[in-house]
Amino acid sequence: MTLTDPSYTDPSYGDAPHQDNTPGEGFRVPPAPETVDAAVWPGVAHPPSGVKAQVAGKAADSLFRAAVRRLPLRVEYPDGTVLGTGGAGAPAMTVVRPVDFAVRIGDNGLIGLGESFMAGDWEAFDLAAVLEVFASSVDTLIPAPLQRLRSLYLPRAPRQERNTEQNTRGNISRHYDLSNELFGSFLDRTMSYSSALFPASAGQLAEVGWDALAAAQHAKIDRLLDKAGVGEGTRLLEIGTGWGELALRAAARGASVYTVTLSSEQQTLAQQRIEEAGFSGQVTVGLQDYRAVEGEYDAVVSVEMIEAVGYDYWPVYFQTIDRVLAPGGKVAIQAITMPHGRMLATRNAYTWVHKYIFPGGFLPSVRAIESVTEQHTTLRVRERRGMGDHYAATLRLWEERFLQRAQEVRGLGFDEVFQRMWLFYLCYSRAGFQSGYLDVQQIVLDRREAQL
C-alpha cells in the first residue's frame, strides 16, 4: 500500500483511538500544578523575590492594569475588581495570584506572562481569545518611552542558543526530540507540523473540522511540489524532514529525494514510514545540518524551516540553496512571517517562545527574505501566497486535539506544567495569526533573471 492509495495511514501515529472530549462538551485547560519541580521548571517553581522584584512587580502591576482598562477584555481579580472594556461575553482572564503574577511580569516581561500561566497564577477558559486581544495591541500595551528602554532590563538570548553549527542540533533536539508520541497525540495521520491549506474560504475556516485536516495538509504539500516542478525523475532536496510526509508524496510522483533533519526522533520515524510505504529506494533521510549538504538538485523545498535558522544565518541558508540548485531549478518554501518593522524591533529580543519552545529561532519578514536573497544569492522571489487564516484554523484543530488527549499526554510523562506550557504555545501562536500579527507564506524562487 502506498501514498497513492487513499486508505494509506500510519498505524502508530496521528489517528490512534483516544478518549473523546468534543468541543461541545467543553474543553478544560490542564489544571494548575499543585507543586512544581524546581529542578525541571526553575523559572516556574517560585516567583522572583527580593526588593528589586517587589519594586518591578508594583510597576508592572500598574502598567498592566492601565493597559487592560482600555482593552476589550474582562480581567477579574480575587478582590472583585474587574478591568477592561469587554462585556459579559468578552474574553475573560482571571488573575488568581496577583502579586506572583505581577512580579513575574516585572522581572521578565512577556516571558513572565507565559511562566505565570504555567504556574497557575492566572487562568482563561478561552486562552487563544485572550491572547489575541494582547497580540492585536502589542505595539501599544507598553508606553513608547518604556519600550525604548526594554533592552536595558529584559534578558538577552544565551550565546549557546545561537544557531551555529555547534549549537543548532541541541536547539532542534530540545523541541523535536521531545517524543514522537507527543506530536502524534495532536497531529493528524500525515504527521504534518505546519500550516495546512484548506479548500474553504476565509469566512468558512472557523468551521473546518478534524476530518478535513489530512487532506488540507496534502493540499499544502502538493502545491509546494507543483510550484517547485517536482515530478518523475526530479532530484529533490528537502531542508527540514519533519516526519516524512512531503518526501513520501514527492517519491510517489517519481522523484528521488534527499531530505535532512537534525532530529534523531524525526529521522527514525520518517525512515520507518518511508520503508513501510515502499519508497526506501527513492528517499534518503540524512541526519545533517543544511549547511553541510552537497550535490546538485533540480528542486529545493523547505517547509517552515527558516524560522529555526536564526536572523544571523538567513544569508547562509539561502546561499546553501543557491549553491546546490541546478540550472533551471526552482525553490518553494513555506515560512511564518511577521511585519518588517516588528521584526527589526524584536530581532535581539529573548522571548518566552525562545526559552521554552524554539531556542534560537526567529521569524523573518517577506521584505527580509527578498532583501537577503537579492543581496546574497542569485535567487529571486517570483511568487508568494499568504495563508495566515489557514494556520489559525490548523492551530485550532491541534489545540482541540491536544486537550482531547490530555490523559494520554500525561501518561507519556509530561506533567501539568508542560501541558499548560504546550497549550500556551498553541494558543499564543493561533492568536498571532488570528490578529494578523503573524502570517505564513508559500514563496517560490528561481534564477530566471540571472539566466537572461
**Exposure of 381 in the CB half-sphere (CA atoms within 13 A):** 19
Q: What is the pLDDT of residue 109?
A: 87
Q: What is the pLDDT of residue 7?
A: 34
Q: What is the pLDDT of residue 167?
A: 60
Q: What is the pLDDT of residue 162?
A: 67
Q: Which residue has the higher pLDDT, 292 or 360?
A: 292
Q: Is the pLDDT of residue 343 over 70?
A: yes
CB 104 within 8 A of CB 47: yes
Task: Kindly report the backbone phi and psi dihedral angles of residue 80, in degrees, each rounded to the nearest multiple of 5, phi listed first.
Answer: 95, -10
The contacts of residue 80 (CB under 8 Å, 6+ apart) are none
CB 352 within 8 A of CB 155: no
Strand order in the sheet with 235-239: 283-287, 256-261, 235-239, 297-303, 325-337, 439-446, 380-386
Residues 232-250, mean pLDDT to the nearest whole number: 98
Q: Is the pLDDT of residue 420 over 50?
A: yes
Q: What is the pLDDT of residues 350-401, one digit of tens each?
A: 999 999 999 989 999 999 999 999 999 999 999 999 999 999 999 999 999 9
Residues 258-263, mean pLDDT to the nearest whole number: 96
Q: Which three cell numbers stand for residue 268?
A: 527514525
Question: In 263-412, where do the E strands start and end?
Answer: 283-287, 297-303, 325-337, 380-386
Q: Is the pLDDT of residue 29 over 50?
A: yes
Residues 124-151, mean pLDDT to the nearest whole number: 76
Q: Return d(Cα 334, Cα 339) in angstroms, integer.
A: 16
The contacts of residue 343 (CB under 8 Å, 6+ apart) are 363, 364, 365, 368
Residues 4-9, mean pLDDT to the nearest whole number: 36
pLDDT band (50, 70, 90) for residue 176: confident
Residues 47-54, mean pLDDT to the nearest whole number: 93
Q: What is the pLDDT of residue 104?
A: 96
Q: Return d(Cα 204, Cα 392) in angstroms, integer.
A: 12
Q: What is the pLDDT of residue 138?
A: 76
pLDDT band (50, 70, 90) for residue 27: low
Q: Is the pLDDT of residue 282 over 70?
A: yes
Mean residue pLDDT of the chain comes to: 89
Q: What is the pLDDT of residue 297?
A: 98
Residues 303-326, mean pLDDT to the nearest whole number: 96
Q: Is the pLDDT of residue 249 over 60?
A: yes
> In 3D, which of 60, 53, 54, 52 has the Cα closest to residue 109?
60
Residues 33-45, mean pLDDT to the nearest whole number: 94
Q: Is the pLDDT of residue 6 over 60?
A: no
The alpha carbon of residue 109 and the mean position of all alpha carbons in its chain are separated, in whole angstroms, by 20
> Which domains does the chain possess?
30-124+126-155 (no CATH), 168-451 (3.40.50.150)
The contacts of residue 228 (CB under 8 Å, 6+ apart) are 236, 299, 300, 301, 330, 331, 332, 444
Q: What is the pLDDT of residue 153?
A: 54
Q: What is the pLDDT of residue 11?
A: 37
Q: What is the pLDDT of residue 154?
A: 59
Q: What is the pLDDT of residues 213-236, one digit of tens each?
A: 999 999 999 999 999 999 999 999
pLDDT band (50, 70, 90) for residue 88: confident
What global pTM score does this model have? 0.91
Q: What is the pLDDT of residue 64?
A: 94
The contacts of residue 444 (CB under 8 Å, 6+ apart) are 227, 228, 330, 331, 332, 381, 382, 383, 384
Q: Which three cell numbers stand for residue 145?
A: 518611552
Q: Is the pLDDT of residue 87 over 60?
A: yes
Q: What is the pLDDT of residue 346?
A: 87
Q: Which three cell numbers stand for residue 7?
A: 486508505
Residues 400-414, mean pLDDT to the nearest whole number: 95
Q: Is the pLDDT of residue 149 over 60?
A: no
Q: What is the pLDDT of residue 54?
A: 94
Q: What is the pLDDT of residue 143?
A: 56
Question: In 185-309, where do the E strands start and end?
Answer: 235-239, 256-261, 283-287, 297-303
Q: What is the pLDDT of residue 177?
A: 77
pLDDT band (50, 70, 90) for residue 174: confident
Q: What is the pLDDT of residue 23?
A: 38
